[in-house]
Amino acid sequence: MTDLPARLRQQIAGAIGADRPDRLGVAVSGGSDSLALLTLLNDWRATGGPDLYAVTVDHGLRSEAAEEARMVARLCEGWNISHATLKWEGWDGTGNLPDTARRARYGLMADWAAETGISAIAVAHTADDQAETFLMRLARAAGLDGLSAMAPRWQQGGVTFLRPVLSATREDLREVLRARGITWADDPTNADPAYERVRARQVLETLAPLGIEAATLAEVAGNLADARDIVDTQVAFAARNVARIEAGDVLIDRTALARIEPEITRRLLQKAILWISGADYPPRGPALKRVMRAIDAGESATLHGCRFITRAGALRITREERAVAGITARPGEPWDGRWRLSGPETEGAIVAALGENGLRHCPNRRNSALPAASLRASPAVWQGETLLAAPLAGLDNGWTAELVRRENHDFAALISH
């Protein structure tokens, strides 16, 4: 135990990197993993590490959660660490609760960080979480991407989320707490087999006698992540040779595409889809294979909010009009997550899809490089029922349209490096 905290602090510092922020957020639920992370970060702070700002999300789903948040607040007060409790009240009783709660949690934390001037938040995912995720994805017959390791960092809402204890086990972190006499809260749902992650945890216990433990599966996931990185390098090379961007659409040379290995093609299309649609997850394998067969046959298709327009020598991937119907934004704010329209200040102006009706009021639309299908799904400026501008369709009236970089899914960066 003597060297364990020092070893874990070294791992944390290495994971966060030399460009560590001066102010670091840390997500603390009151469970053992996050309390140990807070403890180790506080040790690091005392020897020159970043200032800490703790945040707890109360999902309002358990009566004990409020007291657990207060427990974290008391600990932070004793250590002179700023602490905030964020409350989520968005559960309507439908859908996938764990996934919905997770999305809400990270959204709330990203908003909190932006308001607080914090650029990065550390979360306490461990080697056990890595192994459990591996088993859950294995049960779904996941491929290389699904079985690869959790990313050590990712972007959301302009904030970098870090996983600095991915190489540590849950038992390592609990040992740190026991040595300090720090107690933690046990969420009863962590023992409820109704949840898939709990069942995966139970399977790990069964597999342990075979030597298949959390650390083993985490290492396997890491090995697969290395293989994924090599494949992604090939995807980037292919993208630079066969694809280009035209006003937010992805254009792909079909002749060159036919010479690429199917797996590289699949990944290339997947990355284009995520960039255009802004979806959190790629389409399922069978659906994407259906689109690939349509492309090979020279047919058009739709998938995941994208439209695939196949012509003799080229494939165009654009936004599907139906997917953006009803999406609005104020001028200057991102529309559909990737366009920002700026222009003269106009009372009551909103950004919405151009649509068929708007397209009829664009006399210069034929001068645009984009086909009608792309233009109908493009952003336009409306004042009530009146079309003010549609920059991509040749009706600018002083307005400009700028592509906004998507976090984690930047196809433009893929083909420009």
Q: What angle do CA 403, 407, 410 make, to 5 degrees?
A: 60
Task: List, as one string, the DSSP characters of 49-90.
Answer: --EEEEEEEE-SSSTTHHHHHHHHHHHHHHTT-EEEEEE---
Task: Please check whether residue 23 is in contact with residue 118, taking contact to mean a CB–CB distance below 8 angstroms.
Answer: yes
CA 199 to mean position of chain CA atoms? 25
Question: Which pLDDT does position 90 carry in this prediction?
Answer: 73
- Which residues fall within 8 angstroms of residue 281, CB to CB, at 6 or more apart? none
Q: How far apart are CA 121 and CA 220, in angstroms?
A: 26
- CATH architecture group of domain 220-321+409-416: 2-Layer Sandwich (3.30)
What is the signed CA dihedral for 230, 18, 158, 30, rounded to 10 degrees? 100
Which residue bears the tokens 């559909």? 336
C-alpha 288/C-alpha 290 separation (Å) is 5
Whole-prediction pTM: 0.85
Instruction: Tell me which DSSP letter residue 249 carries.
Output: E
What is the rounded CA–CA span in Å between residue 35 and residue 37? 5
Select the CATH number that applies to the domain covering 4-212 from these four: 3.40.30.10, 1.20.1090.10, 3.40.50.620, 3.20.20.100. Answer: 3.40.50.620
Write down the pLDDT at residue 237. 95
What pLDDT, on a 0 to 100 scale, did the predictor assign at position 136? 94
pLDDT confidence of residue 345:
93
Sign (positive or negative) of CA dihedral 10, 166, 160, 409: positive
Q: Which of 370, 408, 405, 404 is nearest to 390 (CA)?
A: 370
CA angle 54, 71, 81 (to 5 degrees): 30
Answer positive or negative: Cα dihedral of 144, 146, 147, 153: positive
- H/E run at residue 26: strand 23-27
pLDDT in tens, the chain (417 residues): 458 999 999 999 999 988 889 999 999 999 999 999 999 999 999 999 999 999 999 988 788 899 999 999 999 999 999 999 999 987 776 777 888 889 999 999 999 999 999 999 999 999 999 999 999 999 988 889 889 989 999 999 889 999 999 999 999 999 999 999 999 998 888 888 988 999 999 999 999 999 999 999 999 999 999 999 999 999 999 999 999 999 999 999 999 999 999 999 999 999 999 999 999 888 988 999 999 999 999 999 999 999 999 998 999 999 999 999 999 999 999 999 999 999 999 999 999 999 999 999 999 998 888 999 999 999 999 999 999 999 999 999 999 999 998 877 778 788 875
How high is the pLDDT of residue 75?
97
* Orientation angle between helical segments 32-46 and 170-180, nearest 10 degrees: 60
Token digits of residue 291: 């689109």
Q: Are 366 and 395 in contact (CB under 8 A)?
A: no
Retrieve residue 274's tokens. 């995520």
Residue spans of the domains in the chain: they are 4-212, 220-321+409-416, 323-403
Q: How far out from the chain centre does Cα 22 lie?
A: 24
Given this model, what pLDDT does residue 94 score?
73
